[in-house]
Chains A and B, each alone.
Chain A
Amino acid sequence: MTTDAVSRSSAANQNEETIVRYTFFERINHWLGAFSFIYLLITGLAFWSPYLYWLAAVVGGGPTARFWHPWFGLVFTVSLSVTFIQWRSDMRITEADRAWAKAIPDYIKNEDDKLPPVGRFNYGQKLFFWGIFYGLILLLLSGVVLWYTEALPWSLRFARYAAVLIHASVALITIGLFLIHVYMSAVLEEGSFGSMILGRVTRAWAWTFHRTWYYQVTGKSQPKQ
């Protein structure tokens, strides 16, 4: 982060001052991933249950959904690969995360003042990221088998048997992660959703939720706990 990240104004209203949390490119990439995931979710759920098959009609009908689902899978893969390059170092799980993990009950009860300070991403966000990352690897491998399922010879049919089960199971896990992610960032934690659109958060937000990162990015020295 450069000094541009911190807008200069009087120290008196520092709570209102904003800090860049996500760059323009990070935000574009996030929404590319989000929209491709939502497309995959809609079409995937249509294939998952007869009671949700109508979802296919929403995006142009069953055959269209079947045709585009794998391609959107590739779009999501590109987006997540870029995310991996951008955030890999921020997502490394550290000793501080282990302390934070023990305080998850306080986090659930919104008693955030009891939590140890965290960097740019907290342990929950890291788990989300790695869950989606490893989930995607499995979805991609099983997805290729399902994409060209007819091309697989009869002697390799076990790969089809494995793929249908892996693809559905892992998709369910990523859907769970996705629901939690949407709830936390768009509903629960005020200021998060806007930060992924305009890229900025207030200093108070950063201080409250990502204190170590706040001190890093503002260049202030972090008081002893």
Chain B
Amino acid sequence: MSQAATELIRISGHAGTVPGAGLNREFEVCKLVDTTTCIGCKACEVACLEWNGYAFTETTFDNTYQTMPETAWNYWNLIKFNEHERADGSMMLLMRKDQCMHCADPGCLAACPADAAIVQYANGIVDFQEANCIGCGYCITGCPFNIPKFNPPSRKVFKCTLCNDRVSVGLEPACIKACPTGCLHFGTKDDMKELAETRATQLREVSGFADAGVYDPSGVGGTHVIYVLHDAKNPELYGGLPKDPQIPLSVRLWKGPLKWIGNLAMVGGIVGMALHYMRFGPKKEEPIPPDDNNNDERRV
């Protein structure tokens, strides 16, 4: 058994227990993205491609600084760009590094039906195991951040791994390594939250951004990628960052109450039919009474 197995705290589509459940031997890791010091250089995008072995391919230009409209199956890290005009008429160029948020309560994993196609490690990383993926796309439905992307030829879904391969051997993610302004930080969740709050306080008290704050949405149990925003009250401005992301209600109903009602109904129905047969037995044909023979036999 590899050491990694004991670090699994959640496994998608899995019947039974999980080896790392209840163990608390690892720090939760966290990536901190300070949007206020991002210059949109896209070094992180290139580093992501480099490390993960994807070639840069043709893209869609949408008249902004953005490389493409949204992340792709082979492009996991994208700087979302927005030209925002403030109430006083001044202009802001908002840049946000978009990637998997590595939710503590991941909607993709909740929706996934395939055993171990999505796993969550004790350090908080949510990782897709493409070998086990069946290509159903339920993770796309479950994710509140529009992150999992389908690759038609392989019929598998891909997304940012938080450089699980690097982090597991003590390195920081490739994007962090490449950032020239220091707007990207990597460390434990506790340390990153503290650093983020320090920066948000500085923005509020020194830099005149009264609404500056940290984005670590509680609707998905907190995330292992957190943002510092100049305007934490309007996260949508930053390339459509949802204000209160949740696992969709329909996914929760489907994977929760509906599952139990459905299973009870199916088992109950089978048991009920067996009891019916034991109580009432088969329906048998009865002989036609002899006086019925007297009817005229008209041929149709």
Residue B182 interfacial (CB < 8 Å) = no
Query: 0/1 per residue, B271-295, Cβ < 8 Å to A?
Result: 0010011001111111110001101
Does B86 touch A at the CB level, under 8 Å? no
Among listed B87-95, B96-104, B187-195, B245-253, interface-contacting one = B245-253
Report which of B249, B265, B277 forms a contact with A176, defined as CB distance below 8 A. B265
From residue B188, how far is it (CB to closest CB) to chain A in Å?
Answer: 32
Which one of A15, A62, A154 lies within 8 Å of B114 (CB-CB)?
A62
User: Are the CB atoms of B300 and A108 closer together than 8 Å?
Assistant: no
Q: How far is the CB of A107 from chain B (nearest CB, A)?
A: 9
Chain A 7-26 interface mask (CB, 8 Å, partner B; 1/0): 00001001100000000000
Q: Is B135 positioned at the interface, with any CB of A under 8 Å from its CB?
A: yes
A109-B280 in contact (CB<8A): yes
Question: A187 in the interface, Cβ–Cβ < 8 Å?
Answer: yes
Query: CB of A137 within 8 A of chain B?
Result: no
| Contact B250 A209, beta carbon cutoff 8 Å | no
The stretch of A28-36, A82-90, A162-170 in contact with B is A162-170
Structural contact, B113 and A48, CB atoms closer than 8 A: yes
* B107-160 at interface with A (beta carbon < 8 Å): 111, 113-115, 132-138, 140-141, 146, 149-150, 152, 155, 157
Count of chain B residues with Cβ under 8 Å from any Cβ of A? 58
* Contact partners of A66 in chain B: CB under 8 A: 134-136, 155
Interfacial chain A residues near B299, Cβ < 8 Å: 3, 219
Q: Which residues of A contact B180 (CB under 8 A)?
A: none
Q: Which of B50-58, B166-174, B254-262 forms contacts with chain A?
A: B254-262
On whether A220 and B270 interact (CB within 8 A), knowing A108-B280, A188-B282, A191-B285, the answer reads no
Give complex CA distance A154, B284 in Å: 57
Question: Does chain A have a CB within 8 A of B181?
Answer: no
A:157-195 near B, CB below 8 Å: 157, 160-165, 168-169, 172, 175-176, 179-180, 183, 187-191
Bound-complex Cα distance A149 to B134 (A): 13
- Smallest distance from the beta carbon of A161 to chain B beta carbons, Å? 4
Secondary structure type dominating chain A contacts: helix
Whether B134 lies near A65 (C-beta < 8 A) is yes
Nearest CB to that of B248 among chain A residues? A161
Kindly list chain B residues whose C-beta atoms are within 8 Å of the C-beta of A138. Answer: none
Q: B23 at the A/B interface (Cβ < 8 Å)?
A: no
B141, A48: Cβ atoms under 8 Å?
no
Q: A46-B113, A108-B276 are in contact. Are A189 and B134 (CB under 8 A)?
A: no
- 13 additional A-B residue pairs with CB within 8 Å, beyond A217-B300, A220-B292, A220-B298: A14-B288, A15-B287, A15-B288, A62-B134, A63-B155, A149-B138, A150-B149, A160-B141, A164-B251, A179-B273, A190-B285, A208-B284, A220-B296
Chain B positions within 8 Å of A, measured between CB atoms, are: 13-15, 70, 111, 113-115, 132-138, 140-141, 146, 149-150, 152, 155, 157, 248-251, 253-254, 258-259, 261-263, 265-266, 269-270, 273, 276-277, 280-288, 292-293, 295-300
**Chain A residues near B (Cβ < 8 Å):** 1-3, 11, 14-15, 46-51, 53, 56, 62-63, 65-67, 108-110, 112-113, 146, 149-150, 154, 157, 160-165, 168-169, 172, 175-176, 179-180, 183, 187-191, 202-205, 207-209, 216-221, 223
